Amino acid sequence: MRTVTTITFIATFAWTAHAQPIDPANSVCWSENTGHINFAGAEDGASEVFAFSDHLEGFAWGENIGWVNLGSGPGPYPNTTGLDFGVNRDPITGEFSGFAWSENCGWINFAGGALASPPNPARIESGRFRGYVWGENIGWVNLDDDDTFVALIECPPDLNNDGSLDFFDVSTLLTGEIDYNGDTSFDFFDISLFLQDFGAGCP
């Protein structure tokens, strides 16, 4: 009976990728040489950064460096010329690669932290940015601070935090028997609430 229910449940939904917005309450990282860089709220949110399963889009803002372009249009970005740059995200590991661009401070390497000693690659982990990025003209940008950091607005039905609503989230719910509604048991009500949130999509 459970197998039939599971198959019906999975077949009901198509795969959807969603843009994960930055949490306005936790949207700032720090660089010793440039100060704070804000990933949300610039121009009242008109130019904020969004995280997709395989890339980032949008602009961050630093009072001391101006706009930082993390990518425009659908990714991932080839990063072969100055016209197709952008920050990519590995859908499996969450690690960043590629380059952002600032008119005032040049290229910012989002794979730079992986080359540090010890390595601390820039990545999305547990719903927030981690690691370090590197710019030749600005040095290290710290995404790893416990108090000043950039986080994503949570998307509850994205149970595996990969930026997509798909079979894997359904599988995580059912095989893990996750207490989705927080009532200390896994039952029809968890599946019902999950279906509702899954169908509504994410911000």
Bridge partners (DSSP) of residue 129 are: 124
Counting as low any pLDDT under 70, the low residues of the chain are: 1-18, 41-46, 203
Same domain? For 138 and 172 the reply is: no
Whose CA is closest to 16, among 164, 154, 195? 164
Same domain? For 49 and 84 the reply is: yes
Same domain? For 68 and 147 the reply is: yes
Under DSSP, is residue 94 helix (H, G, I), strand (E, B) or coil?
coil
Same domain? For 147 and 184 the reply is: no
Return the amino acid letter for 194.
F
Same domain? For 103 and 140 the reply is: yes
Same domain? For 79 and 116 the reply is: yes
Domain that holds residue 166: 2-15+156-200
Same domain? For 98 and 163 the reply is: no
For the chain, how many structural domains are there in total?
A: 2
Q: How confident is the model over 70-119, as pLDDT tens digits?
A: 999 889 999 999 999 999 999 889 999 999 999 999 999 999 999 899 99
**Whole-number pLDDT of residue 81:** 93
Whose CA is closest to 70, among 93, 50, 95, 54? 50
Same domain? For 25 and 10 the reply is: no
Whether the Cβ atoms of residue 26 and residue 143 lie closer than 8 Å to each other: no
Cα Rg of the chain (Å, integer): 19
**Whole-number pLDDT of residue 176:** 86
For residue 70, how far is the Cα from the chain centroid? Answer: 12
0.85 exceeded by pTM: no
